[in-house]
Amino acid sequence: MAGLKSNQMLAAVYEQSGDAATVLSIRSISRPEVGAGQVRVKLAFSGLNPTDVKIRSGRTPRQIDIFQIPHMDGAGTIDAVGPGVDMTRIGQRVWVLLAAHDSKWGTAAQWAVVNQDRAIGLPDEVSFELAATLGVPAVTAANCLLGDGPIAGKDVLVAGGAGAVGGCAVQMARWQGARVAASVSGEVKSEMARQAGADLVVNYREPNAIEQLQMWSSKIAHIVELNLGANLELDLGVCVPGTSIVTYAADGDDPVLPIRRLMTAGVSIRFMMLYTLPAPVLAAAVEVVSAALIAKALRLPKVQVFELADIVAAHKAQEAGPLGRILVAIS
Ligand SMILES: NC(=O)c1ccc[n+]([C@@H]2O[C@H](COP(=O)([O-])OP(=O)(O)OC[C@H]3O[C@@H](n4cnc5c(N)ncnc54)[C@H](OP(=O)(O)O)[C@@H]3O)[C@@H](O)[C@H]2O)c1
């Protein structure tokens, strides 16, 4: 901070997509000013997700308008509001979502500006660390769990129950009154899914995963899926007529869908993308996350914290597929 002019801030910046070490740098740039309907957030933590490194690397192509500050998610305090925003929001502690989605002002910086509905008030007792882990994963999990109808009293399967989205989905499914099974690989992730609240955890790489799930439930109503290609046989093996499958990731090869078997099984499949959710649907998912926070249904996952100066290392840690979440502390 020493030597920074009052209207300047430190930010992680890239001007073109590519390898983290090549394109990312920390710079002093002009602090963003708020426009109509916007708030400015003084950030405490920035949260990384796979989408941030996919966009920075160019795997998910995006136009860059001169420069881009990465990261969708963060947490901090509103210190300025634009025309049309309630002045009493100044000083409010917030979690931030989708900051870098259609804007250059991502959260890997001392300040970010976002539309007022992308900075959501936090209950006093929720830490900025937990708040910075919410955004993409928690909102995705909320929509994937509840976007096909209520799950109270139902049996739900969450694939990748130790992942960022999966961990939120397991916790929120329990809070919503569902019985939850999770699939993971390995013992450490199994324990993570259990701690998130899964009633049953199976290793999707073991040949008897389907049998374990069938013994647990003969009426799995909903499946939150992240690799439909790899898990299609497992999903078909445990579904019943009426089961809904929602899939939110496109990692791995695209499957050839066995349409006759899917029709006979009587399942429905929905494809979910946070960036293209209609505004009221997105708002409903955000409300679910806020309600989960008030109910203390979401806990801080295992986190690894990097300083802003170590942004390249933070991106590399995210790309390596972390056990838990990567945060950047903004001092
Ligand atoms: N559509 C959207 O709007 C949206 C929103 C959020 C995230 N995403 C995408 O969803 C994916 C996951 O995101 P994330 O942040 O949750 O990542 P993450 O924290 O890395 O979690 C992914 C988890 O899935 C597990 N996994 C991998 N293959 C699996 C399989 N076949 N069955 C069950 N589990 C499996 C991984 O562990 P193992 O490899 O050890 O099994 C890992 O624990 C990313 O591709 C991300 O870009 C999409």
Q: What is the per-residue pLDDT across 217-249, written as a single tens digit (0 to 9) for each?
A: 999 999 999 999 999 999 999 999 999 999 999
Q: Please report whether residue 119 resides in a domain.
A: yes
Task: Say yes or no: 78 and 32 in one domain.
Answer: yes
Instruction: Tell me the C-alpha distance between 237 and 303, whole Å.
Output: 34
Task: Say yes or no: 32 and 159 in one domain.
Answer: no
Task: Say yes or no: 151 and 242 in one domain.
Answer: yes
> Which residue, among 91, 113, 92, 93, has the nearest Cα to 101 in the 3D structure?
113
Q: Please report whether residue 290 resides in a domain.
A: no
How many domains does the structure of the chain reveal?
Answer: 2
pLDDT at res. 3: 64
Residue of the CA atom closest to atom 14 of ligand 1: 164
Task: Say yes or no: 124 and 169 in one domain.
Answer: no
Task: Say yes or no: 117 and 185 in one domain.
Answer: no
Q: Please report whether residue 172 resides in a domain.
A: yes
Residue of the CA atom closest to atom 18 of ligand 1: 163
Residue of the CA atom closest to atom 8 of ligand 1: 249
Q: Please report whether residue 171 resides in a domain.
A: yes
Instruction: Tell me the C-alpha distance between 54 and 57, whole Å.
Output: 5
Pair of tokens at residue 222: 């909903």
Q: What is the per-residue pLDDT across 174-190, written as a single tens digit (0 to 9) for each?
A: 999 999 999 999 999 99
pLDDT at res. 1: 46
Q: What is the per-residue pLDDT across 127-146, written as a single tens digit (0 to 9) for each?
A: 999 999 999 999 999 999 99
Q: Is 226 in the pocket of ligand 1 (CB under 6 A)?
A: yes
Task: Say yes or no: 151 and 121 in one domain.
Answer: no
Q: Rounded mean pLDDT of the chain?
A: 97
Residue of the CA atom closest to atom 10 of ligand 1: 249
The CATH code of the domain that includes 122 is 3.90.180.10
The contacts of residue 280 (CB under 8 Å, 6+ apart) are none
Range with the poorest average pLDDT among 43-57, 244-258, 282-296:
244-258
Given a cut of 80, is residue 8 above it in pLDDT? yes
Q: Which helix (H) or strand (E) segment is 59 a member of?
A: none
Angstrom distances, CA of residue 306 to CA of 23, 76, 197, 309, 318: 18, 16, 28, 8, 11
Instruction: Tell me the C-alpha distance between 96 and 311, whole Å.
Output: 19
Residue of the CA atom closest to atom 22 of ligand 1: 163
The contacts of residue 306 (CB under 8 Å, 6+ apart) are 313, 314, 317, 326, 327, 328, 329
pLDDT at res. 66: 97
Task: Say yes or no: 28 and 65 in one domain.
Answer: yes
> Which residue, among 22, 12, 16, 2, has the nearest Cα to 74 in the 3D structure?
12
Pair of tokens at residue 304: 């690894």
Task: Say yes or no: 35 and 159 in one domain.
Answer: no
The burial of 234, by beta-carbon neighbours within 10 Å (0-12 exposed, 13-18 middle, 19 or more buried), is given as: buried
Q: Is 157 in the pocket of ligand 1 (CB under 6 A)?
A: no
Q: How many angstroms is it from 156 CA to the middle of ligand 1? A: 17
End-to-end, the C-alpha distance of the chain in Å comes to 9
Report the predicted TM-score, pTM, of the whole model to 2 decimal places: 0.98
Task: Say yes or no: 149 and 169 in one domain.
Answer: yes
Q: How many angstroms is it from 321 CA to the middle of ligand 1? A: 9
Backbone φ and ψ for 297, nearest 5 degrees, come out as: -90, -5
pLDDT band at 153 (very low <50, low <70, confident <90, very high): very high
Q: Is 133 in the pocket of ligand 1 (CB under 6 A)?
A: no
Given a cut of 60, is residue 283 above it in pLDDT? yes
Residue of the CA atom closest to atom 25 of ligand 1: 160
Q: What DSSP assignment string belongs to 142-191?
A: HHHHHTTS--TT-EEEEETTTSHHHHHHHHHHHHTT-EEEEEESSHHHHH
Q: Please report whether residue 281 resides in a domain.
A: no
Q: Please report whether residue 286 resides in a domain.
A: no
Given a cut of 60, is residue 2 above it in pLDDT? no
What value, to the nearest 5°, has the Cα angle with vertex 252 and ends 251 and 257? Answer: 105
Q: How many angstroms is it from 108 CA to the middle of ligand 1? A: 22
| Segments forming the whole domain that contains residue 148 | 141-276
Q: Please report whether residue 48 resides in a domain.
A: yes
CB 231 within 8 Å of CB 237:
no
CB 165 within 8 Å of CB 227:
no
Count of beta carbons in the 10 Å neighbourhood of residue 276 = 9
Q: Is 193 in the pocket of ligand 1 (CB under 6 A)?
A: no
Residue of the CA atom closest to atom 26 of ligand 1: 160
pLDDT band at 331 (very low <50, low <70, confident <90, very high): confident
Mutation to probe ligand 1, out of 165, 188, 210 (largest number of atoms < 8 A from CB): 165
Q: How many angstroms is it from 84 CA to the middle of ligand 1? A: 38
Q: What is the per-residue pLDDT across 16-74, written as a single tens digit (0 to 9) for each?
A: 999 999 999 999 999 999 999 999 999 999 999 999 999 999 999 999 999 999 999 99
Task: Say yes or no: 161 and 262 in one domain.
Answer: yes
Average pLDDT over residues 302-314: 98
Q: Please report whether residue 295 resides in a domain.
A: no
Task: Say yes or no: 64 and 83 in one domain.
Answer: yes
Task: Say yes or no: 73 and 159 in one domain.
Answer: no
Q: How many angstroms is it from 16 CA to the middle of ligand 1? A: 26
Instruction: Tell me the C-alpha distance between 92 and 119, whole Å.
Output: 9
Instruction: Tell me the C-alpha distance between 241 and 25, whole Å.
Output: 52
